[in-house]
């Protein structure tokens, strides 16, 4: 049983280290931790105590401490796991509002308090398995039901797959817990089935690691991607800062010398040399501009927040994009049933984000394409959606879109930092960005803003009116 508690506590540690801010991930970690308590309890009684006794290292005080540890682990496993698992399911399924979840957090552990009085703590610990069955099994079944419901109601294909794999990881050990730890012990007094637990935990550990890394389980893969992107951006930011500083110093010297050569050439009427010097000056200026532009898009984003109308910011971004929309005869349809929507945000960074997405959409479409901008409300987010009917992208290309310097445009003036910048802006606002794309069908970019940033209600339009200069625009 040493393997059981080490494996489960390893999973708990991985979850807490990788994604500690996510509520459902924290409850999943607590579920694994409390489950590992059973393995710890058996390790104490079947491995540690016999070993110490064999080599005459066991003292009365040490034995007392280890027996208390055994009872703590066993009680935590039998009583704590159902509560933690149900809270994980409640949090992960997004069925309940925050207020209800707060109430459940305090109400659901009440049976555990009662079990303190129904459990014999005279070593070895003796559980009242009949009572445990009547509240623990319903807790576990409600948790499994909530997870199943969250999978069935999920519309986003990527998140639906993640929920499926999360359920595949969670279901086997929980079902085994229901049968081995509660049902058989409560009604048939069968105590030894739990010895098959190492096989179940082996499956859990392997599936957790493989599915978590490859597809995403309990937010693990998502966090790996964020850490990779964050680390990459930090390295790029530091590197470009050093590069920018070095180039400015060295190019500055070149420009001074070149300017002197140009002036001397003019004085000596050496026009060819003077013209060459001008070319060198223009090239060095372009070099400085290029490095400065790269650095500006890789630096940490510092928000200057205020309360701004997102619809107005979107209108200004459309105006900025008018030239490229006109050139390609792009029709822009606004499907937003609101006059104003005030958010606490950085209007400059948000406008640049909208502009980047609009330009990307325009460049992905042939002439006479259609860009549709809509807004929808979710329970926790306001979502602004940009959909184009452009060329779309393959799954392989889509997986790299947020990588710094990755670009499908293959042009000298494109550095592949636009979507990376957009991602960082949304992250700084506490939101997220989701991209769905299908080859030869089009691309949908969804920007999700947390509702806590909303400073006004969404006001329905009395009648359809223009929002921005490019609504229903045909160049």
In this predicted model, what pLDDT tens digit does every residue of 188-242 receive, in sequence order?
988 878 778 888 888 887 887 777 666 655 555 444 445 455 555 554 554 555 5
The stretch 272-277 carries a mean pLDDT of: 81
By mean pLDDT, which of 92-101, 167-176, 242-251, 465-474 is the weakest? 465-474
pLDDT tens per residue, range 456-474: 644 443 332 333 333 333 2
C-alpha separations of 171 from 77, 156, 182, 203 in Å: 17, 22, 16, 11
pLDDT tens per residue, range 389-405: 988 887 766 655 655 44
Calculate the average pLDDT of the chain: 80
Q: 187: pLDDT confidence band, cut at 50, 70 and 90?
A: very high
CB atoms inside a 10 Å sphere around CB 58: 16
pLDDT tens per residue, range 284-308: 776 666 566 555 555 556 778 889 9
Task: Please report the pLDDT score of residue 415 as a whole number.
Answer: 37
C-alpha separations of 460 from 73, 105, 127, 314, 332 in Å: 56, 37, 59, 17, 20
Q: pLDDT higher for 260 or 370?
A: 370
Task: Please report the pLDDT score of residue 424 as a whole number.
Answer: 82
**Own/partner long-range contacts of 132-138 (Cβ < 8 Å, ≥24 apart):** 132/78, 132/79, 132/182, 132/186, 133/182, 133/183, 133/186, 133/187, 135/82, 135/111, 136/78, 136/79, 136/81, 136/82, 136/182, 137/82, 137/178, 137/182, 137/183
Task: Please report the pLDDT score of residue 407 as a whole number.
Answer: 52
Bridge partners of 442?
Answer: 438
Task: Please report the pLDDT score of residue 296 as a whole number.
Answer: 58
| pLDDT beyond 70 at 1 | no
| pLDDT beyond 60 at 416 | no
| pLDDT beyond 60 at 254 | yes
Distance of CA 331 to the CA centre of its chain: 33
| pLDDT beyond 70 at 53 | yes
pLDDT tens per residue, range 359-383: 888 888 878 899 999 998 888 889 9
The stretch 340-346 carries a mean pLDDT of: 88
> Residue 134 corresponds to which tokens in the numbers above?
């009547």
Task: Please report the pLDDT score of residue 116 as a whole number.
Answer: 93
* C-beta separation of 171 from 132 below 8 A: no
Distance (Å, rounded) from C-alpha 83 to C-alpha 194? 20
Task: Please report the pLDDT score of residue 225 as a whole number.
Answer: 47
Place of tokens 């009949």: 130
pLDDT tens per residue, range 424-456: 888 888 888 888 888 888 889 999 999 889 886
| pLDDT beyond 50 at 385 | yes
Distance (Å, rounded) from C-alpha 245 to C-alpha 248? 5
Task: Please report the pLDDT score of residue 153 as a whole number.
Answer: 86
The stretch 61-79 carries a mean pLDDT of: 93
Task: Please report the pLDDT score of residue 474 as a whole number.
Answer: 29
Q: What phi and psi values does residue 431 have, to the nearest 5 degrees?
A: -110, -160
Task: Please report the pLDDT score of residue 473 as a whole number.
Answer: 31
Provide the whole-model pTM.
0.53
Task: Please report the pLDDT score of residue 223 as a whole number.
Answer: 45
């Amino acid at each position: 049983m040493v393997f059981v508690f080490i494996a489960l506590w390893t999973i708990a540690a991985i979850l807490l280290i990788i994604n500690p801010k996510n509520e459902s991930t924290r409850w999943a970690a607590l579920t694994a931790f409390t489950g590992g308590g059973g393995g710890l309890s058996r390790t104490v009684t079947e491995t540690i105590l016999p070993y110490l006794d064999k080599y005459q290292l066991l003292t009365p005080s040490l034995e007392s401490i280890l027996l208390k540890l055994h009872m703590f682990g066993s009680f935590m496993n039998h009583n704590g796991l159902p509560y933690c698992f149900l809270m994980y399911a409640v949090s992960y399924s997004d069925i309940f509002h925050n207020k209800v979840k707060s109430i459940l957090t305090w109400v659901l552990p009440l049976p555990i308090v009662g079990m303190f009085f129904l459990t014999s703590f005279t070593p070895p610990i003796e559980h009242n398995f009949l009572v445990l069955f009547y509240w623990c099994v319903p807790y576990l079944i409600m948790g499994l039901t909530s997870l199943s419901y969250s999978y069935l109601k999920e519309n986003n294909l990527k998140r639906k797959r993640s929920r499926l794999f999360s359920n595949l990881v969670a279901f086997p050990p929980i079902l085994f817990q229901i049968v081995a730890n509660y049902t058989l012990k409560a009604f048939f007094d069968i105590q030894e089935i739990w010895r098959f637990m190492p096989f179940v935990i082996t499956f859990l550990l392997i599936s957790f690691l493989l599915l978590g890394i490859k597809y995403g389980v309990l937010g693990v893969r998502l966090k790996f991607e964020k850490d990779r992107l964050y680390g990459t951006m930090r390295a790029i930011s530091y590197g470009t800062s050093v590069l920018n500083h070095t180039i400015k110093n060295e190019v500055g010297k070149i420009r001074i010398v070149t300017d002197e050569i140009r002036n001397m050439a003019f004085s000596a009427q050496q026009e060819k040399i003077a013209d060459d010097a001008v070319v060198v000056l223009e090239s060095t200026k372009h070099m400085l501009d290029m490095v400065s532009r790269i650095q500006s898009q890789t630096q940490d984003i510092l928000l200057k927040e205020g309360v701004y109308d997102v619809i107005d910011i979107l209108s200004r971004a459309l105006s900025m994009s008018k030239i490229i929309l006109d050139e390609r005869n792009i029709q822009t349809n606004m499907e937003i049933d609101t006059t104003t929507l005030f958010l606490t945000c950085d209007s400059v960074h948000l406008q640049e984000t909208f502009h980047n997405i609009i330009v990307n959409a325009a460049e992905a479409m042939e002439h006479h394409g259609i860009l549709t901008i809509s807004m929808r409300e979710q329970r926790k987010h306001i979502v602004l959606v940009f959909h184009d009917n452009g060329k779309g992208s393959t799954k392989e290309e889509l997986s790299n879109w947020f990588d710094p310097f990755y670009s499908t445009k293959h042009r000298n003036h494109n550095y592949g930092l636009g979507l990376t910048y957009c991602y960082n802006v949304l992250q700084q606002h506490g939101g997220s960005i989701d991209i769905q794309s299908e080859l030869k069908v089009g691309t949908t970019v969804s920007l999700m803003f947390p509702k806590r940033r909303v400073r006004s209600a969404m006001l329905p339009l009395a009648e359809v009116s223009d929002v921005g200069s490019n609504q229903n625009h045909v160049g």
